[in-house]
Amino acid sequence: MNCHESQEQLIDYLEGSLDETSRKRIEDHLHKCIGCQVEMRELQQVVAALESEGERIQIPEDFMRNVRNKVAKSQEGRWKSYKQRAMIGLVAALFLTVFVGTAVATNGFTSVIEWWKDLSNKQDTQMQTFVQHGLGEKLNLAAESNGVKVTITGVVADDIQTFIYYEIDDRNKENKYMINYTDGLKIANQERDWNSVDDPSYSPVTNHLSLYSGKDHVFKGRLGVAPMSVNTGTIQLELSKLEIVTNTSGDTSRSVPTGKGEFFKGEWHFDIPVKKHPSIVHNIHVETEIDGNPIIFEKLTIAPTVTVLSYRYHNENPNRRMEYFNFSSLESKGKFVYDQQGLGGYGGTGRYEAGWNSAEETFESLYYEKPTDIKIHIGSAAFSVNKPAKFAIDRSKALPQSFEYLGSKITIEQMEVGNPTKIVMTEELNPKRAYEMLDYHLYDKDGHGGNGIRTDGYFIDKKGDKYKLSDYLLRQNELDHPRMYSTEHHIEFSGENNQELNVPVGIEIEGYTVTSFYDKVVSISLD
């Protein structure tokens, strides 16, 4: 099995839906391939972080299938560059795509609504700026079908991506509707203008961002589309159905989900004029290091919609691997721009080759500043530390059963045998805990591993104050040097092919993650 085949099957592997042969092949590959191990851990973090919001948000039953469809329809390798901070950004992006408008507004949801309003206002301001600088076009392309009016309100395009802003008004005053970009949407001219004839599953539409609307029965959103192969052209957008988002009751901030993936059928066709604006590309070669690990910054691409920093790094210590690092900001002429956290449309790409990890980080655009030099502010880096340990679970003894790892207690609290077997595991969070997140798996008598992990925990800041993970999932930037600590795991342990009962007999820990913080500034001349 090669890396491409492995990447295509990771979600199926996490779900436990692979047959025996495929499961063994991917596990053999993961055992040997560090790059795919990193990718697996990152995807586990996405799922764990999303599911940690489970008590607040009603997650559709077909969520993982939707995620798989979105990944399959994205650019190859696109999601590989998401790191822990960017992983939370991806959570936020998927949260806004799937849940906002279909979210259960509980007492703790107010802060998310305010965050969402602020994000939407910034999008409105950004679109106005595009128009003022001649980089975008305000549109009023409307089509109505069965009492539902869809309007394309604006478009901006560069050689990184295209943004299409839209609004949907239910004139029947019954529901809110959104565009589901994996179902009911077609780009009629994609084979001609996106060179996609060799991949039947390809779609130029790569992402969706829900935007706040204070009006009943009106939904606002933004579609992200891969750049066309021509500089000037038309996107022939065809919609055959819209997803029902909410049933409103006068309070647009407290919406109730359908939770059923329901759709409203109709026909809405648009010819959207697009003019790509070129990026400013600076090829650079600036070297630095973090904890002895070399980093090379190679390119800065400044597009109207986003700034992309391309770099690569090499791990010098196999027992303490640097998995990723977080950029605090980019600085130019006293102006600071920040990590887009997956909400800027383009998420970057990444690869692992010849011992080097290559990645891209995306920031707010510096296009209007035309910088002659920049300062890269590096805030933190996450490391995976190899520290193996193995503990047996004795089914003949009563629960809870506890083990000690690096001075902290790990406890199997509950085990409900079935298919799947449901397990609750907790971790002691003492002030001197040596690790943040465990890299572990449960195994049965035949060595098969567990899956379906939902993790909860806390952020702990520089002063030692604790913040509930679910409360600050989208608000880490409000905390001073936050570290993410896991404290509770809900694990679904399935039998082979989900056809027999499997009971875990032990837990195997490969190691753990830790975060180091820096105040490192790298200055780069762009002349």
The domain spans of the chain are 3-94, 116-275, 280-383+520-525, 394-504
Structure tokens at 452: 């379906």
Max distance between CA atoms of the chain, in angstroms, equals 72
pLDDT bracket for residue 80 (50, 70, 90):
very low
Is pLDDT of 246 > 80?
A: no
In degrees, to the nearest 5, what angle opens at C-alpha 356 toward C-alphas 355 and 357?
125
Task: Report CA torsion sign: 5, 83, 380, 310.
Answer: positive
Q: What is the pLDDT of residue 34?
A: 53
Alpha carbon 285 to chain centroid, angstroms? 29
Q: How many CB atoms lie within 10 A of CB 522?
A: 15
Alpha-carbon distance values, 76 to 44, 204, 349, 351 (Å): 19, 12, 8, 10
Q: What is the pLDDT of residue 412?
A: 96
Q: What is the DSSP string of 219-233?
A: EEEEEEEPPPSSSEE
- CA contacts within 13 A on the Cβ side of 351: 7
Give the pLDDT mean for 423-431: 93
Of 354 and 4, the one with more pLDDT: 354
CATH fit for domain 116-275, picks 3.40.50.2300, 3.40.640.10, 1.10.150.20, 2.60.40.1640: 2.60.40.1640
Burial 333-343, CB ≥16 within 10 A → b, else e: eeeebebbbbb
- Answer yes or no: are the C-beta atoms of 338 and 345 closer than 8 Å: no
Q: Which of 122, 127, 80, 119 is nearest to 97 (CA)?
A: 119
Is pLDDT of 182 > 60?
A: yes
Bridge partners (DSSP) listed for residue 439: 511
Alpha-carbon distance 426 to 209, whole Å? 35
Is pLDDT of 288 > 60?
A: yes
Structure tokens at 90: 């991806």
Is pLDDT of 2 > 70?
A: no
What topology is assigned to 280-383+520-525 in CATH?
A: Immunoglobulin-like (2.60.40)
Alpha-carbon distance 504 to 523, whole Å? 52
Alpha-carbon distance 212 to 100, whole Å? 9
- Answer yes or no: are the C-beta atoms of 330 and 363 closer than 8 Å: yes
Give the pLDDT mean for 272-279: 96
Q: What is the pLDDT of residue 523?
A: 96
Is pLDDT of 84 > 60?
A: no
130-139, 380-389, 462-471 — which is least confidently predicted? 462-471
Which residues lie closer than 8 Å to 198 by C-beta, 6 or more apart?
none
Give the pLDDT mean for 216-235: 94
Are β-strands 185-187 and 232-247 bridged in parallel, bridged antiparallel, or unpaired? antiparallel
**pLDDT tens, 85-138?**
333 334 444 444 444 433 333 333 455 677 778 888 989 999 999 999 999 999
Is pLDDT of 488 > 80?
A: yes
Which residues lie closer than 8 Å to 180 by C-beta, 6 or more apart?
208, 241, 242, 243, 263
pTM score of the predicted model: 0.76
Alpha-carbon distance 397 to 142, whole Å? 67
Which residues lie closer than 8 Å to 13 by C-beta, 6 or more apart?
23, 26, 40, 451
**pLDDT tens, 24-41?**
777 777 665 655 665 665
**pLDDT tens, 144-168?**
999 999 999 999 999 999 999 999 9
Which residues lie closer than 8 Å to 190 by C-beta, 6 or more apart?
196, 202, 203, 204
Residue 43 is which amino acid? L
Cα torsion for 348, 352, 356, 362, to the nearest 10°?
10
Alpha-carbon distance values, 237 to 179, 268, 271 (Å): 11, 8, 6
Structure tokens at 136: 């975008």
Alpha carbon 48 to chain centroid, angstroms? 11
- Domains 116-275 and 280-383+520-525 fall in the same CATH topology: yes
What is the average pLDDT value for the chain, to the nearest integer?
A: 80
pLDDT bracket for residue 348 (50, 70, 90):
confident
Q: What does the H/E/C string look like for 289-341?
A: EECCEEEEEEEEEECCCCEEEEEEEECCCCCEEEEEEEEEEEEECCEEECECC
